[in-house]
C-alpha cells in the first residue's frame, strides 16, 4: 500500500482510447490519482462529476486529475462521454495497480457476489511523483473530502 512520502509506483494502463498510459506521462505536473470502484454507479458518478466541475480549480494550480478503475476502456469511454469527463480515465482491469496503491479491493461490490472493484482512494503526487496526500476508504459509499484534496494540491510548490 502506498503511503505519504513514498515514490509513487509506475504503472501502465489503457485510457479510453485504448492508448497505454503510464505514470511517467504525468510526471512534471502535480497529479491527483482517483481510484473509483465502478463507472455508472451513484457515488462514483457523483465523485467524478464533482472533479469535473472543479477541474478549473485544479488546472489553476497546475494539477492533472486522473481517474482509475477496474472497468474496461470501453466502459470508461462511455462513462467519460456521458458525463463529459475531461480528464483521463485509465483501466486497471488486471486490478494490480489498485492493489498496489490502495492495499486491496472491495469484494462483492453492491452485493454482487464475486464482483471485485478498486477501493475508493485518492493520491496526490508532487511534480516528482512523491505521494504527498493519501486517502483510502474501506467503504465504497464514502466520498473523499474534495476541499481537503484541493488544499493538498494547492500546498505543493
- Copy the grid coordinates of residue 46: 457523483
Task: Give the predicted TM-score (pTM) of the model.
Answer: 0.96
Per the CB < 8 A criterion, the answer to whether 72 and 90 are in contact is no
Pick the catalytic residue: 34, 44, 80, 89? 44
Distance in angstroms (rounded) separating the CA atoms of residues 44 and 30:
22
Distance of CA 23 to the CA centre of its chain: 12
pLDDT at 50: 97
Is 49 catalytic? The answer is no
pLDDT at 139: 93
pLDDT at 157: 74
Which segments of 73-123 does DSSP mark as H helices, in order?
A: 73-83, 96-102
pLDDT mean for each 10 residues of the chain (157 residues): 96 98 96 97 97 96 96 98 98 96 89 93 97 96 96 93
Provide the sign of the torsion angle of the four alpha carbons 71, 96, 89, 122, taken in this order: positive
pLDDT at 104: 82
Amino acid at each position: 500500500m502506498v503511503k505519504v512520502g513514498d515514490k509513487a509506483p509506475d504503472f501502465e494502463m489503457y485510457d479510453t482510447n485504448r492508448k497505454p498510459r503510464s505514470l511517467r506521462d504525468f510526471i512534471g505536473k502535480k497529479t491527483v490519482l482517483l481510484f473509483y470502484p465502478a463507472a455508472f454507479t451513484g457515488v462514483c458518478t457523483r465523485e467524478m462529476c464533482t472533479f469535473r466541475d472543479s477541474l478549473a480549480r485544479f488546472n489553476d494550480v497546475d494539477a492533472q486529475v486522473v481517474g482509475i478503475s477496474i472497468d474496461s476502456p470501453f466502459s470508461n469511454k462511455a462513462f467519460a462521454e456521458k458525463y463529459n469527463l475531461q480528464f483521463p480515465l485509465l483501466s486497471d482491469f488486471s486490478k494490480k495497480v489498485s492493489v498496489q496503491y490502495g492495499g486491496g479491493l472491495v469484494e462483492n461490490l453492491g452485493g454482487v457476489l464475486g464482483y471485485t472493484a478498486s477501493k475508493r482512494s485518492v493520491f496526490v503526487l508532487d511534480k516528482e511523483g512523491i505521494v504527498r496526500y493519501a486517502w483510502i476508504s474501506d467503504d465504497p459509499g464514502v466520498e473523499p473530502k474534495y476541499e481537503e484534496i484541493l488544499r493538498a494540491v494547492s500546498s505543493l510548490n
